[in-house]
Structure 1
Amino acid sequence: MDFAGAYSWPNLSFILQGFGVTLLVAALAILFSFILGNILGILRYARIPVLSRLLAIMIDIIRNLPLLLIIFFIYIVLPQLGLRLPPLWAAIAGLTLFEGAMISEIVRSGLASVDRGQIEAARSSGLGYIQTMRHIILPQALRRMMPPLVSQFISLLKDTSLAIVISLPEIMHNVQILQGHSPNYVIPALILAALLYFTVNYTLSIIARRLEARRI
């Protein structure tokens, strides 16, 4: 093991650049999957005839597929259909689709946990359905959804490492490149990658626990 060589500034900078890509992919995927998950979850909660059933089938299919398969499909199959995405956006699209399906179930469950009597009371007081959702149901549901949402975001950050298969220059890809330069670099580089992942994920887990405690 060559810690001095692995942690020389060029190598250290290379690893940190990869982690920057990891955080960028995670941040954008979290944003997009949160939006997608909320849309799908609200539509399923609304129980719109036919549409809700179709969405349920689609979500179940996505949730039961390996994320790696979805990333491969977007990066390899879609170009044959005329839609070519660079590795960065292919990874973001795959993570968004998969995590959006997961988040939609969290959103639907959170909305369903709110007493439906509040909806009837709000509607009887003159509020429309959208106003009721915005001012009555969503604020309560969001507080209940935050801990599982944060846990899902932690999983998303770890899942970004799967993008190594499409040569996205994220942290694990860059660690692999360093291993090619010298086998003595691999353990120090993996230790640093583990510490970086742990720091971010542990911070998020603390946030999730505090949100859970506040909810209780």
Structure 2
Amino acid sequence: MDFGKAYSPDNLKFLLEGFGLTLWLAFVAIVLSFVIGCLLGVLRYARIPVLSPVVGIVVETARNLPLLLLIFFARFGLPELGIQTNMFGAAVLGLTVFEAAMIAEVVRSGLQSVEKGLVEAARSSGLSYTQTLRHIVLPIGLRRMVPPIVSQFISLLKDTSLTVIISLGELMHHANIVMGQGPEVVFPILLLVAVLYFAANYGLSLLTRRLEVRKTA
């Protein structure tokens, strides 16, 4: 093992550039998947004729497909249909579709966890279905679903490593290039990559715990 060679200034700069892209990719996918997932989850919960069942089929299909397949399809399948995607766009699309489906299920479950008595009380007091959903169900349900949603974000951050398969210049891709310098740098580089992933994910874990404490306070 050669830590000096592995952690040369050029190698560290190269790895941190990849880590920066990893964080940016995760951030974009998190924002998009959260917005889309919340919308899909509410539509499934609302049980709108025709629309809700269709949304349910889409969500269940995306949830039961391998994420790697979705990334491959976004990068190599869509261009065959006339939809051009670059590596970053394909990575965002694959991650967003998969995570939005996961978040949609979390949202639906969170909304369904709201006690029926509260819903019935709101309706009996004169609130419409939409008003009940907006003022009663959503605020209570969202508080309960925060920890599992943040857990999904942690999974998403780790899943960005799968985009190495389409040669996106994220952390794992850059790590593979550096490890090509020789077997003596493999362990130090993998150790550093593990530390970077751990630091990012542990930060999100601490956020989840803090939110759980506030929830129970």
Corresponding position of 2:84:
84
CA RMSD of aligned residues (A): 1.4
Q: Determine the C-alpha separation between the residues in 2 that align with 1:139 and 1:60.
A: 25
Q: How many residue pairs get matched?
A: 216
Q: Determine the C-alpha separation between the residues in 2 that align with 1:202 and 1:94.
A: 24
Q: Determine the C-alpha separation between the residues in 2 that align with 1:163 and 1:138.
A: 34
Cα shift readout 1:141-195 (whole Å, capped 9, x = no counterpart): 1110011011111100000000000010000000001112333222111111100
Look up the equivalent residue of 2:68 and give its one-letter code: L
Q: 1:126 offset after TM fit, Å?
A: 4.0
Corresponding position of 2:20:
20
Corresponding position of 1:158:
158
Q: Determine the C-alpha separation between the residues in 2 that align with 1:92 and 1:36.
A: 13
Q: Determine the C-alpha separation between the residues in 1 that align with 2:61 and 2:87.
A: 24
Equivalent positions of 1:75-154 (< 5 A) are 75-154=75-154
Equivalent positions of 1:41-52 (< 5 A) are 41-52=41-52
Q: 1:58 offset after TM fit, Å?
A: 1.7
Cα shift readout 1:77-99 (whole Å, capped 9, x = no counterpart): 10010111111111111000000
Cα shift readout 1:27-72 (whole Å, capped 9, x = no counterpart): 0110000011101000000001122112212211111111000100
Equivalent positions of 1:66-77 (< 5 A) are 66-77=66-77
**TM-score, normalisation: structure 2:** 0.94
Q: Determine the C-alpha separation between the residues in 2 that align with 1:145 and 1:130.
A: 20
Q: Which moved more, 1:106-115 or 1:177-186?
A: 177-186
Q: 1:122 offset after TM fit, Å?
A: 2.8
Corresponding position of 2:215:
215
Look up the equivalent residue of 2:138 and give its one-letter code: L
Corresponding position of 1:180:
180
Q: 1:208 offset after TM fit, Å?
A: 1.5
- Give the gaps of 5 or more residues in structure 1: none
Among the aligned pairs, what percent are the same residue?
A: 59
Q: Determine the C-alpha separation between the residues in 1 that align with 2:134 and 2:200.
A: 31
Q: Determine the C-alpha separation between the residues in 1 that align with 2:68 and 2:28.
A: 18
Look up the equivalent residue of 1:50 and give its one-letter code: V
Look up the equivalent residue of 1:77 and give its one-letter code: G
Q: Determine the C-alpha separation between the residues in 1 that align with 2:15 and 2:130.
A: 47
Q: Which moved more, 1:62-71 or 1:183-192?
A: 183-192
Q: Determine the C-alpha separation between the residues in 2 that align with 1:18 and 1:187.
A: 18
Look up the equivalent residue of 1:76 and give its one-letter code: F
Look up the equivalent residue of 1:106 and give its one-letter code: V
Runs of 4+ in structure 1 off by over 6 angstroms are none
Q: Determine the C-alpha separation between the residues in 1 that align with 2:44 and 2:117.
A: 19
